Amino acid sequence: MASLESRDGNFRAVFRLEGEKVARALGTRNQKIANLRFAQVEQRLEQYQLGRLAIPSGCDPVEYILNGSRKPLAAPA
């Protein structure tokens, strides 16, 4: 389960991933945009929990859930 929070006008998503609490800013102060971004986070999180979404190797799982990006964990050597 995830939740959308507002702190000092900034919105953030709060959820558990692999048993750890994650709280990350959604990068907006606009509630409509925050709701849209949060809905995407919830969808990816649900798909992951159901086993329908695999995090690609070399990706930061939190970043992938937050924005679907494939950011590497470490810079290539």
Using one digit for the tens of pLDDT, what is the confidence trace for 34-73? 999 999 999 999 999 999 999 888 888 999 999 886 655 5
pLDDT per position as a tens digit, 1-16 = 899 999 999 999 999 9
Q: What integer pLDDT is reported at residue 16 of this predicted model?
A: 95
- Torsion 74-48-20-9 (CA) sign: positive
Model-level pTM greater than 0.85? no
